[in-house]
Structure 1
């Protein structure tokens, strides 16, 4: 799902922009020095800054991938859903619904988002945490994209948010591994969304969207609730809840796929 999702992420970035953006382009190390000063001004410790950005390098592969993204969601719904929701994924999704029934019920009571929607998103993004969460160092990806002048303010915001994740102790540097836009964890949160919507639902003092299933599912529900999800409402195209899922993914075909998968899970087959 990582490669498919990247094409619309650029349109949904909602990071808080730095008060004074570092100058993009030019010498990469000069840029890193500038964004490091901005991070320090926002309260990030020098130790975290040095550990995350001290030896960071540009990733030309990330830039090449970004430049060739075109038309990912141009398939019809029928063609797209056939590649995303098959018998194996439905079977595993039903097993996850049963395994985490108590947790999902608690989350629904608190956030109003039904289990089948959360499990559908979880399955589509990373095969319920067992699939590909990305293999790229988040700080290398985000520093590369922030240095590139096409969307520097947006990615500078994501880079600063990623530093805050480490500063808060939610994830260590070794766990800051993600996809081509810096998405992290089992439901692929951008760093700014991690900060904004992340919930410590297992009560251990940290929001861990890589390893903690309670945190993953509750944070996903919190994102939807915060963006207008209505408890007890439907989620077909045209509904308020279908629109609330726009914060998750703006592509209509992807949101229709979430709804279709969720319906299959709710029906039990």
Structure 2
């Protein structure tokens, strides 16, 4: 998946969110350790086990993990460019994509109703996010999540944030949701059909299909319910509006900090809601 500069801005509070799930002391592992990446990874292994993550999960998750220069190139190559909303939205809220989202709403009407009843988030918002993030699961990324977040944690620029993401990835493995081989996503560790940071996967993922584990890569019910759970957890108000200036727009901004991206989601959802009338 080609990750936009807005994607990496998403969930900038990931470290703080994760801290609410379990207490994490400041990492003793030294970013850019002069002894090298392998030595740093050994320190991470000890810290993860000390936090209560099983040695089995830690060893499975860190096995064969290497520093990925491609991740660093993508991180350093991010542009902080801005474009007018009208230009931004042209390639994201397209007639074809809106039509496909409307089809999903019709075909999965019972599922969307069930999710709204439980979480208070209406189908058009969920379908809009699903469409914009991965074209309904078609473009999820194929980079190993553990390797990506380990690389970014080893780098000193945002080491605390991505060390927490690394520990969260190991916890997801420990919980039995996904195997390391299944954890593939975008270059900064976003995973699944609506591109959760792995710390948010750990906190907000929901087993909505009843198979015993949340799976945001393959299970559409889990994907949509977990996205709704994230929005509810960030203050979504049942029945309130979502356009700029309305209460739930601030919650969409928690999904993605980009004003353009949030406005595009709101516009997309409004088009879908209008089509339902």
Structure 1 length normalisation: TM-score? 0.95
Q: Which residue of 1 aligns with 2:152?
A: 145
- 3-state SS, counterpart of residue 65 of structure 1: helix
Q: Which residue of 2 aligns with 1:8?
A: 9
Return the alpha-carbon distance in structure 2 between the equivalents of residues 256 and 2 of structure 1.
Answer: 21
* Aligned with 1:129 (options 127, 137, 148): 137
* Aligned with 1:261 (options 242, 265, 268): 268
* Contact 1:6–1:180 (CA under 8 A) maintained in structure 2: no
- 3-state SS, counterpart of residue 268 of structure 1: helix
Q: Which residue of 1 aligns with 2:228?
A: 221
Return the alpha-carbon distance in structure 2 between the equivalents of residues 109 and 210 of structure 1.
Answer: 23
* Aligned with 2:87 (options 79, 82, 88): 79
**1:192 aligned to 2:199?**
yes
* Aligned with 2:26 (options 15, 20, 23): 20
Structure 2 length normalisation: TM-score? 0.92
Return the alpha-carbon distance in structure 1 between the equivalents of residues 230 and 8 of structure 2.
Answer: 20
Q: How many residues align?
A: 267
User: Which structure 1 segments of 5+ residues have no match?
Assistant: none
State the 1:191 CA deviation: 0.8
- Superposition pairs of residues 177-256 of structure 1, within 5 angstroms: 177-256=184-263
- Superposition pairs of residues 43-192 of structure 1, within 5 angstroms: 43-72=52-81, 74-130=82-138, 132-192=139-199
Q: Which residue of 2 aligns with 1:29?
A: 38
Q: What is the CA deviation profile of residues 127-148 of structure 1, one whole-angstrom value per residue up to 9, with x for unaligned ones?
A: 1112x11110111101100000
- 3-state SS, counterpart of residue 166 of structure 1: helix
User: Which structure 2 segments of 5+ residues have no match?
Assistant: none
* Contact 2:11–2:197 (CA under 8 A) maintained in structure 1: no
Return the alpha-carbon distance in structure 1 between the equivalents of residues 66 and 78 of structure 2.
Answer: 22
Relative distance call for 1:96 and 1:7 in structure 2 (3 A) is same
Return the alpha-carbon distance in structure 2 between the equivalents of residues 31 and 145 of structure 1.
Answer: 12
232-241 or 118-127: bigger deviation: 232-241
State the 1:194 CA deviation: 0.6
- 3-state SS, counterpart of residue 117 of structure 1: helix
* Contact 2:130–2:137 (CA under 8 A) maintained in structure 1: yes
State the 1:10 CA deviation: 7.0
253-262 or 36-45: bigger deviation: 36-45
